[in-house]
Chains A and B, each alone.
Chain A
């Protein structure tokens, strides 16, 4: 589903990314690379795979949309785990023309970007990008539309007292547009909707707005 803000055009993709066609830019948030590795280091036998899948999904998005710039809105890595130092840098080398911009998130505090992602531009929280801002944390208030992540927003659909279907979603409150977590194996946080909020969920390859009237329990 395509919709327009008062600035340019942003398209929400069912893959969990935002796409600016005119600026040829792609926005994703919360990859959490290395999460399964961290678990295994701690003695929890989680299989490998999510990282590879996540980066493959990102590759096909980048090539499919032919974007020139990729913004990652924080929590690129889950933690500073051994064995994932080169994961993203190797991926970036496979997309040499792609400009990669990163807003570090709370999980990224100890990441040595120069070694782990040498070709990337590291941005400050709330940096201006055209008429918008990019951030990891959803701002309390903002003068212009801010694309952000951090929350892993999701909604639960279903009748009261029954097991609910939980889905990741895009969530806009005032000027903050929160992207769903791009990485799989990241989990959801069910949002508390308020009147005026807008919510979109991926449905069959599309993104559909969830009307306020259909509020789940």
Chain B
């Protein structure tokens, strides 16, 4: 059906434009397009880069559509509750400016119970909320009745939610809201991602056919500059904590008003903070740090100082990727690999955060190969080749949770509920069997047995499914909002003041009385009790401490950026000549690679074999990101071990993987092809990694979402104590007595996806079958191999002094390269 072409703007659009004009602004064409579409009652996705006015595009429609603003009219969903306060402010402003007496309020986990009660009695015009809080609202019949009056839902930063289980939670909530109010208009706001069309389909579910995609014309210029090492010959070939360029970085920070220095991991944040501070002690008052383990109150102080412009530089991780609308940031730096194009784009967008301004990001490479990555990222960015975010499919734990939520918030009939569930993208293909399984899971306790004592959701004589037990209702409400895994060990001072959190295994490795660095300060561990570690300022003034290394901080190089790097290498080998400053700089190193081995093309799979003093090495360069390369190495090790038992060490990075053994490998190209075959992939992967153990470990998250674990809160009644069981124990009981439980399978599937990027592994191995295998026997470690070798040495516990070994080896190689 052809859509009416909006030549003449609607009344709403004219009113919004008039208001813009009164402020001296001019609406952008995409904003008018959104307002027109809104007045016609449409839903859709607004795509524009950060800082182009997406918020007002989506907001002015509901604000101006008519004068009847009784009850709750708009929900504004934001992925981070920390953003809610900022969002409330920026949404309230136009209302006040227009003289409209309507309120915007926040409803998140931080909202006080008195504010919640007031909102329930007298709902404001709009609520800013998170997926978890929305889900919680759906458990309350009074609230559900109010939500029937909704006119619009706006999902902010939809690209952030998409691809996570919280995205699925949002999908389910939206399906519920659509069922309550069929005329509901849903708009998503998204930054650039590689699958915008899919993003809209996921957002709108079965109504995606009528959805409208509106692109903000991206006139914002983004510049990527890379800080160049003076001399690439002495620049490290490997390492990711390198602070070689710290002097230049300080010069640049000095020259700018404010700087955000992004790093890739929390440990790197701590290291750079220390480096900057020791070089410039006079900056101690204007240097701040921001990462997700630091206590929220401290982070908020830093965010406020950014807004006020009273801080010169914030060293941070992805915790500052999102939101926090501070415009004064003049300069953004990225330390180490950009990892992904969308990520670099988003970080760049933190500077020049105003329509029309230029966004700039300054890349700070920590090793030679990262020069290629910055150059590749710039090209991919210019060509707008951005990463795809794959939506999560059919997480049954979440569905079980949602079904109980709906049973609590007024109840449901089976047929209608199934239709509603199938209207989401995530569950569009749910089979009748799977649905039955979930329904029996929450009604009789399991598909195999009907347990007489089990009463959660009950079905009355009319077929209405409800949950009426007060105690279970309370437990369920407590469990909602725990999709995000629990934090680690809380760090507190003796007076109880919270400092932040670290992972359990890190604190387990530190003895009381020893020091470690956290949040830019040195702390002495006093004691650990349960999940709380008490710390104090160290007695000695000049105490030195260990820097925690957090797991999960290392994200793999994205497929898109890997491909862009591959193209860079292709151009190096076959031309046309690449004149980008980074490639010119790194050329000598690539020439060494070409001389000693080969610079592989994307249609080749390079395998290098080397023998050194410490054993036999094979390097496989699949250019598939750290997780997939690691899984590939483990898989090859497993398949080799099937023929003859052997001990291998597997060390991956984003480019390839090292296999290290004490006997020579001596395999032909054909034998390698066999080893890298995608046949029996799932079976072999499961066998190679002890998937049962991994699944058991991961089960905690699923069990909690599906309502199998009571989140033990302090002060819980003693009856709750008899209901405590660890998720591992639950996993064992299910594996033994209910092995067909679909949650077990989900746990295994999720862990494979998360730990080894299984989908990408499969794609990589299938593509590999069409690549030519180039087998090289190398006399020494090549520039591509060295970083892998060095990583293994650095992480090897048996080497006496890894730093010394590393320095000696690098020296030898550099001499040989001259």
Could you tell me the dominant secondary structure of chain B's interface residues?
A: loop
Question: In the bound complex, how far is the Cα of B697 from the Cα of A36, in angstroms?
Answer: 21
Contact between A44 and B737 (Cβ–Cβ < 8 Å)?
no
Shortest C-beta distance, A157 to chain B (Å), equals 14
A-B CB contacts (within 8 Å), total count: 88
Contact between A42 and B471 (Cβ–Cβ < 8 Å)?
yes
Contact between B733 and A46 (Cβ–Cβ < 8 Å)?
yes
Please tell me if B80 contacts chain A, counting CB pairs below 8 Å. Answer: no
Task: Check A38/B722 contact, CB under 8 A, given A45-B441, A46-B733.
Answer: yes
Task: Check A160/B472 contact, CB under 8 A, given A38-B723, A47-B449.
Answer: no
Question: In the bound complex, how far is the Cα of B729 from the Cα of A41, in angstroms?
Answer: 18
Contact between A45 and B708 (Cβ–Cβ < 8 Å)?
yes
Please tell me if A163 contacts chain B, counting CB pairs below 8 Å. Answer: yes
Contact between A48 and B472 (Cβ–Cβ < 8 Å)?
no
Please tell me if A172 contacts chain B, counting CB pairs below 8 Å. Answer: no
Please tell me if B453 contacts chain A, counting CB pairs below 8 Å. Answer: yes
Task: Check A78/B737 contact, CB under 8 A, given A40-B451, A41-B453.
Answer: no
Chain B residues with Cβ below 8 Å from A45 are: 441-442, 445-446, 454, 456, 707-708
Shortest C-beta distance, A185 to chain B (Å), equals 5
Shortest C-beta distance, A168 to chain B (Å), equals 12
Against A, the Cβ 8 Å flags (1 = close, 0 = not) of B621-643 are 00000000000000000000000
Task: Check A187/B729 contact, CB under 8 A, given A45-B445, A45-B708.
Answer: yes
Q: List which A47-81 residues lie within 8 A (CB) of chain B.
A: 47-50, 78-79, 81
Contact of A163 among B697, B736, B738 (CB under 8 A): B697
Shortest C-beta distance, B406 to chain A (Å), equals 16
Please tell me if A107 contacts chain B, counting CB pairs below 8 Å. Answer: yes
Please tell me if B505 contacts chain A, counting CB pairs below 8 Å. Answer: yes
Task: Check A48/B710 contact, CB under 8 A, given A42-B475, A187-B726.
Answer: no
Contact of A48 among B451, B455, B471, B723 (CB under 8 A): B451
Chain A residues with Cβ below 8 Å from B723 are: 38-39, 42, 44
Against A, the Cβ 8 Å flags (1 = close, 0 = not) of B337-358 are 0000000000000000000000
Cβ-closest chain B residue relative to A107: B722
Please tell me if B734 contacts chain A, counting CB pairs below 8 Å. Answer: yes
Shortest C-beta distance, B776 to chain A (Å), equals 35
Against A, the Cβ 8 Å flags (1 = close, 0 = not) of B474-493 are 01100000000000000000
In this complex, the member of B454, B456, B697 whose beta carbon has the largest number of chain A beta carbons within 10 angstroms is: B454
Contact between A43 and B454 (Cβ–Cβ < 8 Å)?
yes
Chain A residues with Cβ below 8 Å from B710 are: 42, 44
Chain A residues with Cβ below 8 Å from B456 are: 43, 45
What is the size, in residues, of chain B's interface with A at 8 Å between Cβ atoms?
39
Interface size class of A (residues with CB under 8 A): 20 to 34
In this complex, the member of A37, A48, A160 whose beta carbon has the largest number of chain B beta carbons within 10 angstroms is: A48
Please tell me if B452 contacts chain A, counting CB pairs below 8 Å. Answer: yes
Against A, the Cβ 8 Å flags (1 = close, 0 = not) of B552-574 are 00000000000000000000000
Contact between B454 and A40 (Cβ–Cβ < 8 Å)?
yes
Chain B residues with Cβ below 8 Å from A186 are: 729
* 8 sampled A-B residue pairs with Cβ under 8 A: A40-B454, A41-B453, A43-B469, A43-B476, A46-B725, A48-B449, A50-B733, A82-B453
19 more contacts with CB within 8 A, not counting A78-B722, A163-B697, A187-B726, are A37-B453, A38-B723, A39-B725, A40-B453, A41-B453, A41-B454, A43-B707, A44-B707, A45-B441, A45-B456, A45-B708, A46-B730, A46-B734, A47-B449, A47-B737, A48-B451, A49-B738, A79-B722, A187-B729
A interface residues with partner B (beta carbon < 8 Å): 35-50, 78-79, 81-83, 107, 160-161, 163, 184-187, 217
B interface residues with partner A (beta carbon < 8 Å): 441-442, 445-446, 448-449, 451-456, 469, 471-472, 475-476, 505, 508-509, 693, 697, 707-710, 722-723, 725-726, 729-730, 732-734, 736-738, 741
